[in-house]
Amino acid sequence: MQVEVHPELRADIESALAGHPFLLDQIVRDFTACMASKGQTLPSYMGCDQPYHEPAAARSGQLRHIHIALPPQTFRATDRQAYRKCDIKRPQLDAALVYVQGELYEDRYMILAFFAPYAHDKAKVDAVMTRLGILAKKFRDEN
């Protein structure tokens, strides 16, 4: 299992995390455990894993995201991963970890962004999502 943070985006991710009680190294470790276990090992703050469908570059790059519970909220340990979603009625606590999985090497992942708060709104910015989709496609083509 290999998980990397995109070198061009690392500073942006660390900046986005600065206002939250998460360290990038912790997120990488927890994300690695989650992917290695196929979603069976989840910390209380990691939730539903879903693809992005818009814009086209995000879809073609097979860009994905995991819902992140910002404190004071956590996801219930008894809930299956598919049901662990951020509350749309509390957008100030809406967060997501954006990543891509390798195409040929399915055990390789690249973390591309951390959207918080208002993650759903941030994911609607075409310029941002197009850039991430292009970077995701490049990673998939090479992995």
- Name the pLDDT band for 39 (thresholds 50, 70, 90): confident
**Taking the chain, what is the end-to-end CA distance rounded to the nearest angstrom?**
13
Contacts of 80 (CB under 8 A, 6+ apart): none
**pLDDT for the residue numbered 20:** 85
118 vs 136: CA distance, rounded Å: 22
Structure tokens at 77: 């340990």
Flag the least confident range among 9-13, 35-39, 85-89.
85-89
Q: Which residue bears the tokens 């097979």?
A: 62
**pLDDT for the residue numbered 88:** 82
Q: What is the pLDDT of residues 41-83, one digit of tens each?
A: 999 999 999 999 999 999 999 999 999 998 888 999 899 999 9
Q: Which residue bears the tokens 């941002």?
A: 128
Q: What is the pLDDT of residues 6-20, one digit of tens each?
A: 999 999 999 999 988
The H-assigned helical ranges of 3-74 are: 10-17, 24-36, 56-60
**pLDDT for the residue numbered 3:** 97
**pLDDT for the residue numbered 72:** 84
Q: What is the pLDDT of residues 100-122, one digit of tens each?
A: 999 999 999 999 999 999 999 99
Q: At what angle do helices 10-17 and 24-36 cross, to 10 degrees?
A: 100
Q: Which residue bears the tokens 């390798």?
A: 102
- Average pLDDT in the 122-132 region? 96
118 vs 89: CA distance, rounded Å: 11
